[in-house]
Amino acid sequence: MIQVNKNISLLEYNTFGIDVSAETMVVYDSVDDLTELIHHSLCNFPKPILHIGEGSNLLFLEDFRGTILRSNINNVNVIEQNDDHVIVQVGAGWNMDDFISYSISKGWYGLENLSKIPGQVGSSAVQNIGAYGVEVGDFIYSVNCISIADGTYRKFSHDECNFMYRHSIFKSPEYRGKYVVTSVEYKLNLDFTPHIDYGGIRQQIDLLGETPETLSAQKLRDIISNIREEKLPDPKVYGNAGSFFMNPIVDRDTYNKLVSCYPNIPKYEIDSNNVKIPAAWLIEQCGWKGKTVGHVGVHPKQPLVLINLGGATGKEIQNMSDTIRHEVLDKFGISIIPEVNFI
């Protein structure tokens, strides 16, 4: 089925809670519906075309005068299974966290640390979502797509996806907006090996009287869910899109120079040449933690998250983001790049 709506409010379709509208929204249920749409009627709909998921990483700056596409494809098929792993194809319209819960119930492991990240399965591949030491790209076998231009099918292998920190080929200038992800094939383990080295997880395991040997995938999911609930604001209370900025990656020389001025500057090791600096720390040092300007705030527990205090416009949030970026650049000489997609 294909549903077409005109002049639709996007309030329910973006977690920042920005009150804008779209000229047209088209929701489709299957790959056949999508290809039919592209072959027969999409050319008559207003442009530009934007495919969205749950709108949890979008910032609308104004009403969208074009056509929004949304997927309701929610099938799941096992493609291959042996003693060691399963390859499972999941429709792009499934909620990612529902799939993680489902995969744990089936005894398919690997995605536990990504529990409770908002958004759809299709976007998980576009964004290469990550949390608590795991990136979804590590578990993506391939991504099935349809070209928006002519409705042709293309499968992107894991290597072609070019997954990097919060990046994939689908975000590159050459491919952005050109393909609709229709399903993602995840390669998951049948043995559970917990990833527990990221800050705070081991401590929680100890508090529960568990050990890495007794810990189940469901318990790890619960621990991650609790840590996230503690740190991140609920978009239903304060509109937000998670981390507004990515954590900057700098070379070791730059980091060493910063250490001489700021001995406490934290880092995560990336490789022998590069380290990642928590943008939250840079923003806090500039005095922004908990600060508010008009309808926009910097989350008091996590300065990487900008929040809509109620009634904020996309432009107000963009203005605060610009000011923070300038101040971090002036103080530290580091450019912090938004993770959020400005529309």
Give the count of beta carbons closer than 10 Å to the beta carbon of residue 75. 12
Within 2-120, strands assigned E span 2-9, 21-28, 49-52, 58-59, 64-71, 76-81, 85-91
Q: Which residues touch 30 (CB under 8 Å, ≥6 apart)? A: 73
By C-alpha distance, which of 93, 186, 86 is closest to 136? Answer: 186
Candidate list 24, 30, 71, 113; residue touching ligand FAD; CB under 6 A = 71
Q: Is 117 in the site for ligand FAD (CB under 6 A)?
A: yes
- Beta carbon nearer to ligand FAD, 71 or 308: 71
Q: Is 56 in the site for ligand FAD (CB under 6 A)?
A: yes
Q: Is 341 in the site for ligand FAD (CB under 6 A)?
A: yes
Give the bridge partners for 50, in sequence order. Answer: 68
Q: Is 221 in the site for ligand FAD (CB under 6 A)?
A: no
| Residues carrying an active site annotation | 166, 243, 339
**Which of these segments, 31-39, 232-240, 248-256, 330-338, binds ligand FAD (CB under 6 A)?**
232-240
By C-alpha distance, which of 41, 25, 30 is closest to 1? Answer: 30
Q: Is 249 in the site for ligand FAD (CB under 6 A)?
A: no
Q: Is 74 in the site for ligand FAD (CB under 6 A)?
A: no
Binding mask 164-203 for ligand FAD (x = CB under 6 A): ------x---------xx----------------------
- Residues lying near ligand EPU in the complex (CB under 6 A): 131-132, 198-199, 231, 242-243, 246-247, 266, 278, 280-281, 284, 289, 302-304, 339
**CA 325, 329, 330 angle in degrees (round to 5)?**
120
Determine the Cα–Cα distance for residues 95 and 268; give it in Å rounded to an integer. 30
Looking at residue 225, what DSSP letter applies? H
Which residues of the shown chain bind ligand FAD in the complex (CB under 6 A)?
15, 50-58, 71, 92, 117-120, 122-124, 126-127, 129-131, 170, 180-181, 232, 235, 240-242, 341
